[in-house]
Amino acid sequence: MSTITVTPLGFAAGAQVTGIDLSKPLSELQQRQINKAWLEHIVLVFPGQELTPAQQIAFTGSFGTLDQHGSQAPTTLHPEHREILVLSNKVVNGKKSGTYNSGRNWHTDLSYTTRPAKGAVIHCKEKPPVGGDTMWANLYLALETLSPTIRKLLDGLEAVHDVTLVQGIELRAPEVVAEMKKRTPPVVHPVVRTHPETGRKSLLVNQRIRRFVGMSDEESQSLLAMLNTHATSPEFVYRHRWSLGDVVMWDNRCSCHVALGDFDQTKPRVMFRCSLEGEVESGRLTNDIGGTDRQTMLQAVAAVS
């Protein structure tokens, strides 16, 4: 049996894993080695892999319970394997794929549901000649490098995550958007979360947050802009330039990511993604997003003055 080699690719995140064929079942030792590297480096890259959908599903399932993609439009799933979300910009039967512009703003997978994903595994099937990169941010470091004053403010703070803030959602077919809204109403999550395996705390912030509970829209947007800018600073980010056959696995419990549209959209970009269910439901549904606009607040103050 060949030896697994883990080579760091970045300071904040990212490592290349070689010496393993993911098309074959993992041994117990291999699973432990990969999981250890995953927890340490957040993003793992397995280059030059040739996997069938069933083999990708089997590999992903070695690290948790597979998500059946109940929050996704059925038309975006693999026709024979519901466990695979097909990320594609191809036009089929005169229609763009429901995922042709997915991931264009910074996000943590399924944070707009009550159970954000544990992690995900993507297999690069087709790629444009140039571009189409993906970037991940280390949200441990984002939290740990904030000032004590801001960290104190964030302790106990909650945020409203909203699927309608997915960038480019308005460009998708109206029936697809309506279905997404129906399946995934706004949910509330803590801004600071604890990783269930490492015990480290990280931020849960991204560009799909509507506002913070108990704050006005103006207060929320100012704080959120600062936190998102800080969290995605270059020193916290790993940028991956895809090659055909790459399998990339990331820990969704301490990171956010963005799929860049930096490529010729007439060239195909096709990825197969499996997701892992989160271990626990950390969010709750809400009909009251816990804040109001500045004008309403001023009127309320005037009424009791």
Residues catalogued as catalytic: 107, 109, 257, 273
Query: Which of 3-17, 39-53, 91-105 bottoms out in mean pLDDT, i.e. has the lowest?
Result: 91-105
Contact 259, 89 (CB under 8 A): no
Smallest CA-to-CA distance from 122 within 141, 105, 93, 102 is with 102
Would you list the domain boundaries of the chain?
A: 5-304
- Of all residues in the chain, what percent carry a pLDDT higher than 70? 90
pLDDT at 173: 66
* Confidence band, pLDDT 50/70/90 cuts, at residue 175: confident
Strands (DSSP E) found in 172-285:
187-190, 192-194, 201-203, 209-212, 237-240, 247-251, 255-259, 270-276, 284-285
Q: What is the pTM of this model?
A: 0.90
- Looking at residues 44-50, what average pLDDT do you find? 98
Residue 97 in this model has a pLDDT that exceeds 90? no
pLDDT at 9: 98
* Confidence band, pLDDT 50/70/90 cuts, at residue 302: very low
* Confidence band, pLDDT 50/70/90 cuts, at residue 181: confident
pLDDT at 57: 98
Strands 237-240 and 134-138: what pairing?
Answer: antiparallel
CATH code given to domain 5-304: 3.60.130.10
Residue 288 in this model has a pLDDT that exceeds 90? no
* Confidence band, pLDDT 50/70/90 cuts, at residue 176: low
Q: What is the pLDDT of residues 230-278, one digit of tens each?
A: 999 999 999 999 999 999 999 999 999 999 999 999 999 999 999 999 9
How far is 181 from 172, CA to CA, in rounded Å?
A: 13
pLDDT at 171: 65
Residue 190 in this model has a pLDDT that exceeds 80? yes
158 vs 304 pLDDT, higher one: 158
Torsion angles phi and psi, residue 174, rounded to 5? -55, -40
- 207 Cβ neighbours under 8 A, 6+ residues apart: 105, 106, 107, 165, 167, 228
How far is 30 from 101, CA to CA, in rounded Å?
A: 35
